[in-house]
Amino acid sequence: MDSNVPRRAGLCASCAHALRVASARGSTFVLCERSQTDARYPKYPPLPVLRCDGHEPCDPRPGPES
């Protein structure tokens, strides 16, 4: 997952297959990388995504060691 995917993207914000894409005009989109291999997933899903069978939570970032 791209750590820059905004929380308002719904499930995409925590998905290992989400990638934030910025256009030349300054707009931001969320690309679903699953769309490259599975036609059931839209390349740029309408946000927020509230339900997705392909959602895979990304690995949590390691925190500071105690």
* Residue pLDDT tens, the chain, 66 long: 566 788 888 999 999 999 999 999 999 999 999 999 999 999 999 999 999 999 999 876 555 553
Structure confidence at residue 66 (pLDDT)? 39
Structure confidence at residue 1 (pLDDT)? 56
Which residues does 22 contact at the CB level (< 8 Å), separation at least 6? 28, 29
Structure confidence at residue 55 (pLDDT)? 96
Which one-letter amino acid corresponds to residue 29?
F
Q: The domain containing residue 40 runs over which residues?
A: 1-50
Q: Is 56 a domain residue?
A: no
Determine the Cα–Cα distance for residues 40 and 64; give it in Å rounded to an integer: 39
Q: Is 57 a domain residue?
A: no
Determine the Cα–Cα distance for residues 63 and 6; give it in Å rounded to an integer: 20
Q: Would you state the structure tokens that stand for residue 8, as one six-digit string?
A: 């308002």
Q: Is 36 a domain residue?
A: yes
Q: Is 55 a domain residue?
A: no
Pairing of strands 28-32, 18-22: antiparallel
Q: Is 14 a domain residue?
A: yes
Task: Please give the tally of structural domains in the chain.
Answer: 1
